Structure 1
Amino acid sequence: MMRNRSRRRGGRRSARAVALPVAAVVAAAGIAAGTWALFFDSSGEKTEAVTINCPDVANILTDVPVAARQAVDMSVALLNEQLNTAVTQLDQARAAGVQGGNDALLADLERQRRQTLGTMSAAITQAAGRPGSQAGGLEKMASCAFKRQAVDSSGQSVSALAGRDGKGNRGRNANGGNGGNGDGADSGLSRRDFADITKVDPNVEKPRQQRNGSAGLFVSQCGRNENGHFNSDNVIVAPGVGNGAHHMHDYVGNLSTDADSDLDSLKASGTTCADGDRSAHYWPVLRLLDGSRERDAAAPGGGRDKNVGKILTPSSVTLLYQGSAVSKVTAMPQDMRLITGDAKAFTNGQKDARASWSCTGFENRELKTKYPICPQGSQVVRSLEFPDCWDGRNTDSANHRTHVAFSDDNGACKKGFRAIPQLTQRLTYDVPANSFFAIDSFPEQRHKPVTDHGDFINVMNPNQANQAANCINSGQQCRN
């Protein structure tokens, strides 16, 4: 099930999921759009790569009045749509053989962004009753630039290998056609985006458990998305916006999670979790780049947003809540909203990149900027570790980060914050030998592993949340 929409219920906010308008994009006749803007040498190998880097407005907005948040969320979604369209135009120009950056494209994108940022600034000012410090500087974030990444001749494009076995032989896709995704799209990845986990030095360190710490753990059992709950929404970051993520999400837990969800609808829904836990967990799907066409090959969030290949169902999903090394934990409040990682870390930088990649049997070694190549019999592991400190007041914040924080290297929370159970979404996958894979991403993020991220809405009732915290504080190991 590639789309999972919940029925509207009384008490929900009036905003509904809307698909934002997309500017018309004209492609050269007979030229398929490529995902990665490339220069090629005479051998056809990648020699230079380009994407568009725009300031991430959503990440710096920490002081947005509640009355302006819906308007701001819609404006952020429109900024993403404008960037997506510009990247598509850039890729089509590259596929048509146009060399170098297109300054006119950047100028048009800046014009669109300046108008959208002006609307956002006005909404914040109106809600605050006075010009805000952040609102006043938003229009300075209108300009974007080309991001170039040098790739040597050994960094062969993964798209050139899609649909081939480890010996380079062309395979057959699920529909009986030749390998390759059929739309000319390049994944944006090369061999340099993968690393042999056996050649990575052990690098995982955990805080030492202190006498006053909470050493227990609680596991929520919610399945592996066997029911096929997918959509390209993100109700935390882009509420009310259809295809607000521009990539497909895998869901477990709450059965109704989509762009229109609110606490009332989530509490009224069914769940895949044991013990009636209606919490929502989601993350970008992982795809096998084998040249096959998924059911979403022509859909928003899928092929239309340059996310192609076979969606892999996790072999296991472990939702683990752990304690603090230095203190007891406070139960999470209902409707707590958490994000981890940065879906735009390829252009934003790694400050908020928190996801890690590894292989079973080698989990003392983690990668952030590369996908792991696992030895025979070992599974790919994704670990999405969430903030473990809370300000004690807010269940969300304007940038969805500042109401929570990560503890320091010793496990302590900063002043004014208290420890909460730390959620880790641990996913494992059976990836065929000699195969390439990648997460879905925003088009300009090029499926880079550093952009992996996870989302969580706590819908445990107070009794369930207290039981989990008490289990952790008493040093027990429990399951729902």
Structure 2
Amino acid sequence: MGRNTRKRRTPLAAKAVAGAAALAVGGGGLVWANFHASAHEENPAHNRTRSAAAQVATIDCPDVGQELSDVPDRARGEVDGELATMDSQITEAYKRLATTRRAQAGDPRFVENTILGPLKDRRKAIIDRIQLEINRAGGRADDDLDRLAGCQGQPAEQPQNGDGQDGDGQNGDGQGQADNGNGAAGPFAEDFVDIKDVRPNSRDLENGLAADGDGGSTGSFTTKCGVNENNLFNSDNLIVAPGVDNGAHHTHDYVGNQDNDAFSSDEDLANAGTSCQNQGDKSTYYWPVLRLQDGTQEFDAGDLGGGAEGNVGRILKADEAEIRFVGNKQSDVVAMPRFLRIITGDAKAFTNGVANANSSFSCTGFEDRQVTDKYVLCPEGSRVVRTSNFQSCWDGQNIDSANHRDHVAFVRDDGSCPDGFRAIPQLQVRLVYDVPTPTVENGRVQDPYAVDGFPEQLHKPITDHNDFINVMDEDLMNEVVDCINSGEDCQ
């Protein structure tokens, strides 16, 4: 497979050690370190009783980026750069953690005194600069951001067995998961469920969808943009980390706009080509790739964002990528502004919590059964389905916000938008994959599939997410709105 090879600069945050087992992003998250290789460097008998806690350790840092709500436009570049530097600090703390096992064993205060304490001081200095940049640009920074400076050391969520060996002598993670080439960073057997064991209609996916009724907008508009036949891949994220090489720390599929990387301006997007059949749609639609952890060495096997950060195996392209816009239960919809940015789901939901988790998995023939926190095992003849329904209420003013969420919202339970927000066409992305069904036996999973993600998220399915920047021309957007409001199904 190919990739986007546009020449790009490399900021500090991208200069992490390529062989690190994990990187943290957005100024927060868990840094995950696998210490199995040094499990026997000291007396094995002495270490055996504490190996579960010692072999795998984490550093839990508050997510500063998610706490920023008032960042003036002219300060966002500087703030994004500061958050990227904060990422590099956490990476260095991880490296220090992973290479000082002997010192940690001899000094119970070593991690606190030599890793967490200095890390807190460095994070506080960056937070102070962020506050200054926000205030200097006319915003008002939270005076209490210093509370986010400190990080904590924690035992791993998935400690290893005894001396780091599983029953058949392979490296294990304590849950029967062999190392699939990513340092045993998941997924695990517990992350999979037979679709037949999922209760029908157990997850309400109806919010914001078109519905019958005098007040609703019941039409739809489908745009056909292919399944990334052009092999456009990169590990950037133009929405969250503009100007930062490898800002996503995992690889994305791209359909629609063909000039999408961290350094693309709105003008670049507007002037780019598109894979969409309707050339008026230059929007960018992108999502983390799905991989089969079968030992395949992909084009990014040695790269940051790919194998160097635990995202390993064969990239699976979707057989189908259905991109559809629908209406609102209570009202007509209004046009989206050009260059509106929307993220649905949360790539860090495993550490941030599930408040923003949104995407779901299912199987063809069973799509009344949707699950957010599990990968699905589909029966023979059925294919894996990933579904994302985007926020469909807009604040009427902004194309983005400091935390990339506050300018859009989901509908209320009755289908109406929150006060001050207006209904816009709801983007729905349905991806269908032909995935060899993993084997799960006796608490072990073989040849699992998983979405790309930050290694500290352990490839949990709840971290699936989807991204969109609207780059439709005015005529096409008006056509989308007219179709939806008139109850027509257009494409």
Fold shared, TM-score > 0.5 on shorter chain: yes
Match runs of 1:7-406 below 5 Å? 17-21=9-13, 37=34, 50-91=57-98, 102-103=111-112, 104-128=114-138, 132-134=140-142, 136-148=143-155, 180-181=180-181, 185-202=183-200, 203-205=202-204, 206=206, 209-276=212-279, 277-406=281-410
Query: Are 2:226 and 2:255, in contact at CA under 8 Å, matched by a contact in 1?
Result: yes
Q: 1:85 to 1:359 in 2, by over 3 A?
A: farther
In the alignment, structure 1 residue 4 sits paired with structure 2 residue 13: no
Residue of structure 2 equivalent to 1:165: none
Deviation readout 1:100-136 (Å, 9 max, x if unpaired): 99333323332332222222122112112x7x242x2
Give the Cα–Cα distance (whole angstroms) in 2 for the partners of residues 199 and 106 of structure 1.
43
Give the Cα–Cα distance (whole angstroms) in 2 for the partners of residues 261 and 216 of structure 1.
33
Give the Cα–Cα distance (whole angstroms) in 1 for the partners of residues 355 and 75 of structure 2.
27
Q: 1:383 to 1:401 in 2, by over 3 A?
A: same
Give the Cα–Cα distance (whole angstroms) in 1 for the partners of residues 430 and 165 of structure 2.
29
Q: How many angstroms does 1:33 deviate by? A: 5.1
SS of alignment partner, residue 466 of structure 2: strand
Q: How many angstroms does 1:143 deviate by? A: 1.0
Give the Cα–Cα distance (whole angstroms) in 2 for the partners of residues 343 and 267 of structure 1.
27
Q: How many angstroms does 1:91 deviate by? A: 4.9
Q: 1:411 to 1:157 in 2, by over 3 A?
A: farther
Q: 1:26 to 1:416 in 2, by over 3 A?
A: closer
In the alignment, structure 1 residue 412 sits paired with structure 2 residue 393: no
Q: 1:360 to 1:146 in 2, by over 3 A?
A: farther
Aligned residues: 446
Deviation readout 1:326-375 (Å, 9 max, x if unpaired): 11111111111111111111111011111111111121122122211112
Give the Cα–Cα distance (whole angstroms) in 2 for the partners of residues 256 and 70 of structure 1.
20
Q: How many angstroms does 1:72 deviate by? A: 0.7
2:489 is aligned, of 474, 477, 480, to: 477
Give the Cα–Cα distance (whole angstroms) in 1 for the partners of residues 56 and 116 of structure 2.
17
Q: 1:241 to 1:26 in 2, by over 3 A?
A: closer
Residue of structure 2 equivalent to 1:11: none
Give the Cα–Cα distance (whole angstroms) in 1 for the partners of residues 412 and 56 of structure 2.
36
The farther-off stretch of 77-86 and 369-378 is 77-86
Query: Are 1:323 and 1:422, in contact at CA under 8 Å, matched by a contact in 2?
Result: yes
Q: 1:456 to 1:24 in 2, by over 3 A?
A: closer
Give the Cα–Cα distance (whole angstroms) in 2 for the partners of residues 26 and 321 of structure 1.
40
The farther-off stretch of 204-213 and 268-277 is 204-213
Q: 1:463 to 1:137 in 2, by over 3 A?
A: same
What runs of 5+ residues in structure 2 fail to find an aligned partner?
23-31, 40-46, 171-175, 439-446
The farther-off stretch of 322-331 and 300-309 is 300-309
SS of alignment partner, residue 292 of structure 1: coil
Query: Are 1:23 and 1:85, in contact at CA under 8 Å, matched by a contact in 2?
Result: no
Query: Are 2:131 and 2:141, in contact at CA under 8 Å, matched by a contact in 1?
Result: no
Q: 1:21 to 1:411 in 2, by over 3 A?
A: closer
Give the Cα–Cα distance (whole angstroms) in 1 for the partners of residues 141 and 416 of structure 2.
31
Q: How many angstroms does 1:256 deviate by? A: 0.6
Q: 1:191 to 1:95 in 2, by over 3 A?
A: farther
Give the Cα–Cα distance (whole angstroms) in 1 for the partners of residues 317 and 165 of structure 2.
25
How large is the RMSD of aligned CA atoms in angstroms?
Answer: 3.4
Give the Cα–Cα distance (whole angstroms) in 2 for the partners of residues 416 and 161 of structure 1.
60
Query: Are 1:219 and 1:320, in contact at CA under 8 Å, matched by a contact in 2?
Result: yes
SS of alignment partner, residue 242 of structure 1: coil
Q: 1:231 to 1:218 in 2, by over 3 A?
A: same
Give the Cα–Cα distance (whole angstroms) in 1 for the partners of residues 282 and 69 of structure 2.
28
Q: Write the letter of the residue equivalent to 2:78.
A: A
What runs of 5+ residues in structure 1 fail to find an aligned partner?
8-15, 163-167, 171-178
Q: How many angstroms does 1:25 deviate by? A: 5.9
Tell me the TM-score normalised to structure 1 length: 0.84
Q: Write the letter of the residue equivalent to 1:379.
A: R
Give the Cα–Cα distance (whole angstroms) in 2 for the partners of residues 303 and 97 of structure 1.
28
1:440 is aligned, of 429, 432, 452, to: 452
Query: Are 1:341 and 1:354, in contact at CA under 8 Å, matched by a contact in 2?
Result: yes
Give the Cα–Cα distance (whole angstroms) in 2 for the partners of residues 139 and 355 of structure 1.
33
Deviation readout 1:284-333 (Å, 9 max, x if unpaired): 11111112211111112112222111111111111111110111111111
Deviation readout 1:31-52 (Å, 9 max, x if unpaired): x95865478998xx98996433
The farther-off stretch of 276-285 and 305-314 is 305-314
Give the Cα–Cα distance (whole angstroms) in 2 for the partners of residues 232 and 24 of structure 1.
14
SS of alignment partner, residue 224 of structure 1: coil
Q: 1:285 to 1:97 in 2, by over 3 A?
A: farther
Q: How many angstroms does 1:266 deviate by? A: 0.7
Give the Cα–Cα distance (whole angstroms) in 1 for the partners of residues 99 and 381 of structure 2.
40
